[in-house]
Structure 1
Amino acid sequence: MTMWIPNIEAAAGPIYLAIADALEDDIKTGALAQGDRLPPQRELAYQLGVTLGTITRAYGEAERRRLVKGETGRGTYIASETQKVSPLVPKEDEPDSCDLARNFAYPHLNPSLSDGLVRMARTAGIDRLNGFVPSEGLKTHRETGVLVFKDYGLEADPARVAVTCGAQHGIQVTCQALFRAGDAIAVDRFTYPSIFSSLSSLGLKPVPVPALTRTDGGFGAMDPEALARAAAAHGVRGVFLMPNMQNPTTHTMSVEERQDLVRVAREHDLKIVEDDPYTPFLPETLPAFGALAPERTASIASISKVCSPGSRIGFVHVPKAFGDSIRNKIGESTWMASPITAELIAGWVREGHLFKTLRLKRKANRNRFLKARDLLAPHFLQGDVNKVFGWLRLPDIVDADALQAALSHQGISVLSSRYFQGKDHAPAPYLRLTFGSEESDERFQWALKRIQATIDQMADLPELTRPVG
């Protein structure tokens, strides 16, 4: 084919986004097909009269949208429409592996669904839930969200709470309400795996920011000075944070760390999105960003990890100015979260099942963490008895992706650091290990022993563990 030249003459926003948009349009119209090779970056920069950096960002954006794939030494090609399913997505007929990859947080200890449905069936006026309700949810369900937010250190206003289809839907509608396409959003260098694709699908650019180093050598909070530099250099408009159990590093921010980040957010007029689905597992309640900076913070809460992922119910609490926008975005995406499952959750919260379930899961998690720390010594496992996953530091000579593959062949699923960082970042020697997806204590301990043994074997065979190229 002739050299592809995008038409960006009418572009109003950032040029790199206009190039990525033109590429997506040409794929949809058939002007570009699977396997077509894109021009070399330097050549396209010359043809368009833009910098090489602009083309690099455009190709990077296209790759984040899964429109193209880069092959070392060969160039960039239009990707296949068929994509591999993420290892985080459950499959109905998947093999019986020992799952230390997905963070399902002890689902075998969840409250009885049948008992909850029986209670709902006996509730007076239950049929009213079988119709449409306001996009933000019924008042009684938003008041349930207020109770949940108390565990997050936030005294929420029910008028500013909306019910969502889980935390991930909450992230989507919150970012749509607070930001515009083309905005740059600061994220942790290692962060929630789906945030990169979620932001990019909304036309937002994730900007990874490094963390502070703790006294024990682990990862701390996002570095506030690095955030300030990113805001100045990249025009960052917002920041995505997980203050109470950062995924994957497990770090819980101190009050001082939160205040430092609030200071930077105010100095650079950044909106804050805080998401922390694991917060209820922590015994201590620290002030939420929504309490420290209510004028600029949207808070997201969910009890999926606590008692009911199948309900798909979450809550968002936003500054008053964005209330109408949140309602509209929920309505546009799904009209409303299910009032039926929202009522199921409300009943569990009212009747104390949430507390009872947390008590059981905290006890189980304490035992799992202590066992993991002991069996994986001397390797550093960042986390503690209240964290439902751990961040394992590997010997520098062990490649995390190679270790993940070796464990997969042994029937053990884990996630390397690659899943928690942008594609343009170098691999790092870390694994995230979850403690609660595997029901059997015996299988969990067996997996830990195999992980330790495999690390030792790979550390003794450096020529097999270093990445090629």
Structure 2
Amino acid sequence: MPRARYKQLVDRFADEIRSGRLPPGTQLPTHRQLAAREGLALVTASRVYAELERIGLVSGETGRGTFVRETALPLGHGIDQPPTTEGMIDLNFNSPSIPGQTGMLRQALRQLSISGDLESLLHYQPHAGRLHERAIVAQHLKHRGLSIPPEQLLIVSGAQHGLATTVMSLLNPGDVVAVDALTYSGFKILAEVHRLELVAIPVTATGPDLTALEALCKHRPIRAVYSMPTLHNPLGWVMNSEQRQQLITIARQHNLLIIEDAAYAFLADNPPPPLAALAPELTVYVSGLSKSVATGFRIGFIAAPERWIPTLERTIRATTWNTPSLMTAISCGWIEDGTVARLEAEKRGDAQARQTIAREVLKGFSVISHPSSYFVWLTLPEEVRADQVAMTLMTSNISVSTAEPFAVTDHLPHAIRLALGSVAIDSLKEALTQVRQAIERFAY
């Protein structure tokens, strides 16, 4: 098909969608129907829809077809920024907080102001953090089942910076990384910026399909696997011991780097040991205090094999030089005096209470979650479209995320993710009731 003809067809669809002649939710012809109607090869018809999807005008949904998307909803909704509209109810981003944390911060600042070590905080710090602070964090990680020397622990500016440092240090543009078909949106952005190729591992109700991962490794040059074995975001699973061992066996057999994201791991009671404890020679463990303490506390940490420490330190120097010393000092003080452990325990209880509310309000819907997590994956009824629900809620000042930010596959799952950690708990039931009503509005 001549390029001009192909372009004309894309432009015609685009004009009809933008003008409203093809309104949001319209189901377009199948690829075969479009090819027959326009006299195209099937591959060309597929290319037309792929181009429309790339520019954000349609979405392909597995087993359902291709639909005109709600273009008033920002492309990549749920990735870029937390809602900033005044009065917006945020079911999109998690920023869990416990009453009294502001007072705790005031007290910590007063205590720090009279410490004898204040002068040192005015100067550059070692790139990986001061050794005594690395030792404090290493001691903290023992409670998560990971025993590591302080010299193999690096302090960074939040878990996202830890992931970026790991990718920049140990992977190259063009490397192929296996990730769950639904995965953390921040890693997707990181992969895009660093020009990594992500390949999807199919997901099951209890974890990644590791048989499929093994098959991928035999046919693709997989360099690394990105995993959230404890409290997966967005699906909430905790991989059992057998799954962890199977993943490690595959990684060793195919010489894969494992990037273990443990940002939400503190919410799980007595999970199996981290991958980094089971396979320390090939795993980089990344976590932080943003969720367990406060999202404004950009303190994270990387635990890695000794041979990679110099490279990781060099990347920290190139990106931030060192983590802000004031926040590091407060965080380490809170680890030592038990404040972090207390906050983690309180937030586990808070998350459990919120999950109870969610299960009550969303009873009858297909809900996937962990009883201690701060998010819910809500599969929608067949006749309901996620972008329409999200747009309807946005007009009511409620922000939710569609599946788009989390999906690695070409076709989007028929679902939305609800973050439960930012709304005041006494307002959560009403907010979730409005979500239910928005879904029921489109169900017929």
TM-score calculated relative to the size of structure 1: 0.77
Q: What is the identity percentage for the equivalent residue pairs of Structure 1 and Structure 2?
A: 27
Residue segments in structure 1 that go unaligned for 5+ positions in a row: 4-51, 73-82, 213-218, 461-469
CA offset at residue 309 of structure 1?
2.1
Are 1:140 and 2:132 counterparts? Answer: yes
Are 1:206 and 2:192 counterparts? Answer: no
CA offset at residue 86 of structure 1?
6.1
Once residues 413 and 406 of structure 1 are traced to their aligned partners in structure 2, the CA distance between those partners, rounded to angstroms, is 10
Alignment partner for residue 215 of structure 2, among 217, 220, 229?
A: 229
Q: Is the 8 A contact 2:83 2:399 kept in 1?
A: no
Alignment partner for residue 181 of structure 2, among 183, 189, 209?
A: 189
CA offset at residue 259 of structure 1?
0.7
Q: Match of 1:123, SS? A: coil
Once residues 237 and 376 of structure 1 are traced to their aligned partners in structure 2, the CA distance between those partners, rounded to angstroms, is 40
Are 1:96 and 2:80 counterparts? Answer: no
Where does residue 333 of structure 2 map in the other structure? 347
Where does residue 40 of structure 1 map in the other structure? none
Once residues 85 and 132 of structure 2 are traced to their aligned partners in structure 1, the CA distance between those partners, rounded to angstroms, is 39
Q: How does 1:415-454 map to 2 (within 5 A)?
A: 415-422=401-408, 425-441=410-426, 443-454=427-438
Residues 85/292 of structure 1: CA separation in 2 closer, same or farther (3 Å cut) = closer
Where does residue 374 of structure 1 map in the other structure? 360
Q: Match of 2:405, SS? A: helix
Once residues 297 and 440 of structure 2 are traced to their aligned partners in structure 1, the CA distance between those partners, rounded to angstroms, is 42
Residues 455/231 of structure 1: CA separation in 2 closer, same or farther (3 Å cut) = same
Residues 409/305 of structure 1: CA separation in 2 closer, same or farther (3 Å cut) = same
Q: How does 1:22-421 map to 2 (within 5 A)?
A: 69=55, 87-90=78-81, 94-106=85-97, 108=99, 110=101, 112-212=104-204, 219-421=205-407
Once residues 264 and 87 of structure 1 are traced to their aligned partners in structure 2, the CA distance between those partners, rounded to angstroms, is 33
Once residues 137 and 287 of structure 2 are traced to their aligned partners in structure 1, the CA distance between those partners, rounded to angstroms, is 8
CA offset at residue 355 of structure 1?
2.0
Q: Is the 8 A contact 2:79 2:405 kept in 1?
A: no
Give CA-to-partner distance per residue, 1:48-106, whole Å, 9 cap, x none.
Answer: xxxx99xx9xx99xx99xxx84767xxxxxxxxxx989645556952211111101123
Deviation beyond 3 Å, 4+ runs, structure 1: 68-72, 83-93, 107-111
Q: Is the 8 A contact 1:383 1:389 kept in 2?
A: yes
Residues 364/176 of structure 1: CA separation in 2 closer, same or farther (3 Å cut) = same
Once residues 240 and 126 of structure 1 are traced to their aligned partners in structure 2, the CA distance between those partners, rounded to angstroms, is 39
Deviates more, 1:108-117 or 1:348-357: 108-117
CA offset at residue 323 of structure 1?
0.7
Once residues 75 and 415 of structure 2 are traced to their aligned partners in structure 1, the CA distance between those partners, rounded to angstroms, is 23
Once residues 361 and 165 of structure 1 are traced to their aligned partners in structure 2, the CA distance between those partners, rounded to angstroms, is 22
Once residues 289 and 347 of structure 1 are traced to their aligned partners in structure 2, the CA distance between those partners, rounded to angstroms, is 28
Once residues 353 and 56 of structure 2 are traced to their aligned partners in structure 1, the CA distance between those partners, rounded to angstroms, is 44
The residue type paired with residue 226 of structure 1 is A
- Larger relative CO (CA 8 A, sep 6+): 1 or 2? 2
CA offset at residue 363 of structure 1?
2.4
CA offset at residue 239 of structure 1?
0.3
Give CA-to-partner distance per residue, 1:410-457, whole Å, 9 cap, x none.
Answer: 2211111111013x521212221111101241x211111111122122
Once residues 377 and 285 of structure 1 are traced to their aligned partners in structure 2, the CA distance between those partners, rounded to angstroms, is 27
CA offset at residue 166 of structure 1?
0.3
The residue type paired with residue 341 of structure 2 is F
Q: Match of 1:240, SS? A: strand
CA offset at residue 311 of structure 1?
2.3
Once residues 167 and 397 of structure 2 are traced to their aligned partners in structure 1, the CA distance between those partners, rounded to angstroms, is 38
The residue type paired with residue 414 of structure 2 is P
| RMSD of equivalent CA atoms | 2.6
CA offset at residue 114 of structure 1?
0.9
TM-score calculated relative to the size of structure 2: 0.81
Once residues 449 and 99 of structure 1 are traced to their aligned partners in structure 2, the CA distance between those partners, rounded to angstroms, is 14
Residue segments in structure 2 that go unaligned for 5+ positions in a row: 4-42, 59-73
Once residues 258 and 388 of structure 1 are traced to their aligned partners in structure 2, the CA distance between those partners, rounded to angstroms, is 23
Q: Is the 8 A contact 2:78 2:402 kept in 1?
A: no
The residue type paired with residue 425 of structure 1 is D
Once residues 350 and 109 of structure 2 are traced to their aligned partners in structure 1, the CA distance between those partners, rounded to angstroms, is 26
Q: Is the 8 A contact 1:108 1:439 kept in 2?
A: no
Once residues 322 and 395 of structure 2 are traced to their aligned partners in structure 1, the CA distance between those partners, rounded to angstroms, is 42
Once residues 119 and 456 of structure 1 are traced to their aligned partners in structure 2, the CA distance between those partners, rounded to angstroms, is 52
The residue type paired with residue 244 of structure 2 is R
Residues 126/86 of structure 1: CA separation in 2 closer, same or farther (3 Å cut) = farther
Deviates more, 1:371-380 or 1:111-120: 111-120
